[in-house]
Amino acid sequence: MEFDDLYQEIILDHYRSPRNKRPLPHIPDEQVHENPACGDNVKLEIKINADNFITDISFDGSGCAINTASTSMMTELLIGKSRSEALELTGQFLTILRGEMSPELLDAWGDLTSLKHVVSFPVRVKCATLAWNAVHQLLSQN
C-alpha cells in the first residue's frame, strides 16, 4: 500500500506517539473491540459531563499503524465535542470509509486527511474504523 509521504508521516507520528492512549485496567476484557482480520484490539473510555460534552476519551490496546493512528486522531477530534456532534462526526467518518461519501471531505478534518486513501483498501478500512464503530455505538447507547 502506498501513501503520499506526508500522509505516511502523519500516520506514523500518531502510531509512534498515540494521543490519549493510556492503560485502562478497570475496563473489563469483555469490552475489548477486535478486528480479527488484522489482529487489532482496542478498549475505550469516554467521559461525558452533565452538559453532554465529551471531556475525555482514552484508549488502550494493540493495533497496526492504521488502527492506532485512526484511534489516536479520533480522540483528538472528539474531545470537547458534544455527544450529538460526536455522533454525527463518527457517523460521517464511517460513511466516508464505506465509500458512500467523498474521501476528500476528510481534507477538512486535520490529521484525518491522511486516512483518505484507506477507502481504496477494504482490508484496511476495518482497521481504520474499529474504534470509530465502537465509539459511535457507545454514544448511541448511553
12 is a contact residue toward Zn ion (CB under 5 A)? no
Q: Which of 44, 127, 134, 135 binds Zn ion (CB under 5 A)?
A: 127
Q: Which span (13-21, 22-30, 33-41, 110-118) binds Zn ion, by CB under 5 A?
A: 33-41
Return the number of the residue (67 or 90) whose C-beta is nearest Zn ion: 67
Q: What share of the chain is helix, strand, coil (3-state, %, to 5)?
A: 55, 15, 25
Q: Does 40 bind Zn ion (CB under 5 A)?
A: yes
Does 101 help bind Zn ion (rule: CB under 5 A)? Answer: no
Half-sphere exposure in the Cβ direction for 10 (13 Å, CA): 15
Q: Measured from the CB atom, is 67 or 72 closer to Zn ion?
A: 67
For CA atoms 53, 55, 74, 33, give the dihedral sign: negative
The residues pairing with 53 across neighbouring beta strands, listed in sequence order, are 82
Name which position in 38, 48, 87, 101 contacts Zn ion (CB under 5 A). 38
Spatial CA neighbour of 58 closest among 13, 83, 92, 26 = 26
Instruction: Report, in Å, the least distance between residue 83 CB and Zn ion.
Output: 27
N- to C-terminal Cα distance for the chain? 38
Report the residue number, 23 or 36, with the smaller CB distance to Zn ion. 36
Q: Which of residues 53-82 bind Zn ion (CB under 5 A)?
A: 64, 67
β-pair partners for 91:
none
Q: What is the 8-class DSSP label of residue 19?
A: T
Q: How far is the CB of 39 from Zn ion (least distance, A)?
A: 7
Task: Give the binding site for Zn ion (CB under 5 A).
Answer: 38, 40, 64, 67, 127
